[in-house]
Chain A
Amino acid sequence: MIHKLVKDAAAAVTDISDGSTLMLGGFGLCGIPENCIQAILEKGTTNLTCISNNAGVDDFGIGLLLQQKRVKKMISSYVGENEEFERQLLSGELEVELIPQGTLAFRCMAAGYGMPAIFTPAGVGTEVAVGKESRIFDGKEYLLETAFNADFAIVKAWKGDTDGNLIFKSTARNFNPLMAMAGKITIAEVEELVEPGILDPDQIHTPGIYVHRIFEGKNYEKRIEKRTTSK
Chain B
Amino acid sequence: MLDKEGIAKRIAKEVKNNTYVNLGIGIPTLVANYLHEGINVCFQSENGLLGVGPFPKEYAVDPDTINAGKQTITALPGASSFDSAMSFGMIHSKKIDLTILGAMEVSENGDIANWKIPGKMVKGMGGAMDLVASAKHIIVAMQHVNKAGESKLLAKCDLPLTGKNCVKRIVTELAVIDIAPEGGFVLIERAPGVSIEQIKNATAGKLLISGDIPEMAL
Instruction: Give me the interface of A with B, judged by CB distance under 8 Å.
Output: 27-31, 53, 76-81, 86, 89-90, 96, 98-106, 108-109, 120-128, 158, 168-178, 205, 222-231
Contacts of A100 in B (CB 8 A): 125-130
Interface digits, B63-75 against A, CB 8 Å rule (1 contact, 0 not)? Answer: 1111111111101
User: Which of these, A80, A90, A171, contacts B81 with CB under 8 Å?
Assistant: A171
* Chain A residues with CB under 8 A of B92: 102, 120-122
Per a CB cutoff under 8 Å, which of A175, A223, A226 touches B83? A175
Assess the A123–B70 pair: CB atoms within 8 A.
no
With A and B bound together, what is the CA distance between A224 and B62 in angstroms? 9
Query: Assuming the A-B contacts A102-B92, A224-B63, A229-B57, are A108 and B122 also in contact, with contact meaning beta carbons closer than 8 angstroms in the complex?
Result: no
B160 touches A126 (CB 8 A): yes
Cβ contacts B43-59/A at 8 Å (1 or 0 each)? 00111110000111110
Please tell me if B204 contacts chain A, counting CB pairs below 8 Å.
no
- Could you say which of A27, A90, A228 has the most chain B C-beta atoms within 10 Å of its C-beta? A228
Q: A28-B66, A122-B92 are in contact. List 15 more A-B contacts (CB 8 A).
A: A27-B68, A28-B47, A28-B70, A89-B122, A90-B119, A101-B84, A123-B133, A125-B161, A168-B83, A170-B64, A171-B67, A175-B84, A224-B66, A225-B66, A226-B69
> Does B85 sit at the interface, judged by CB under 8 A?
yes
Task: Closest A residue to B132 by CB, please name it.
Answer: A122
Q: Which of B57-110 contact A (CB under 8 A)?
A: 57-58, 61-73, 75, 81-85, 87-88, 91-92
Q: Is the interface of B mostly helix, strand, loop or mixed?
A: loop
Q: Which residues of the partner chain A approach B49 to less than 8 Å between Cβ atoms? A: 170-171
Residues of B within 8 A of A109 (CB): 85
Chain A residues within an 8 Å CB radius of B127:
77, 100-102
Are A173 and B48 in contact (CB-based, < 8 A)? Answer: yes
6 contacts between A and B (CB under 8 A): A101-B127, A123-B133, A128-B129, A205-B83, A229-B61, A230-B57
Is the CB of B192 closer than 8 A to any CB of chain A?
no
B26 within 8 A of A: no
Asked if B123 is at the interface of the complex by the 8 Å CB criterion, the answer is: yes
Q: How far is the CA of A197 from the CA of B125 in the complex (A)?
A: 42
- Chain B contact-residue range equals 35 or more
Residue A174 contacts which of B57, B73, B83, B161 (CB distance < 8 angstroms)? Answer: B83
Selected from A30, A122, A126, A127, the residue in CB contact (under 8 A) with B64 is A30
Tell me the minimal C-beta distance from A136 to chain B in angstroms.
14
Question: What's the least CB distance linking B31 to chain A, in Å?
Answer: 16
Q: Which residues of B contact A30 (CB under 8 A)?
A: 47, 63-64, 66, 70
Task: From known contacts A102-B88, A228-B72, infer whether A27 and B129 are also in contact, taking CB-CB under 8 Å.
Answer: no
Query: A120: which B residues are within 8 A, CB to CB?
Result: 92, 130, 133
Interface status of B164 (Cβ within 8 A of chain A)? yes
Instruction: Tell me whether A174 and B70 are in contact (CB under 8 A).
Output: no
* Chain B nearest CB, measured from A103 CB (Å): 7
CA distance in complex: A53, B84 (Å)? 10
Q: Could you tell me if A227 and B72 are in contact, using CB atoms closer than 8 angstroms?
A: yes
* Bound form: Cα–Cα A178–B86 in Å: 10
Closest beta carbon of chain A to B135's beta carbon, Å = 11
Taking a contact as CB atoms under 8 Å apart, the answer to whether B65 and A101 are in contact is: no
B143 at the interface (CB under 8 A from A): no
Please name the residue on chain B nearest to A118 by beta carbon. B85
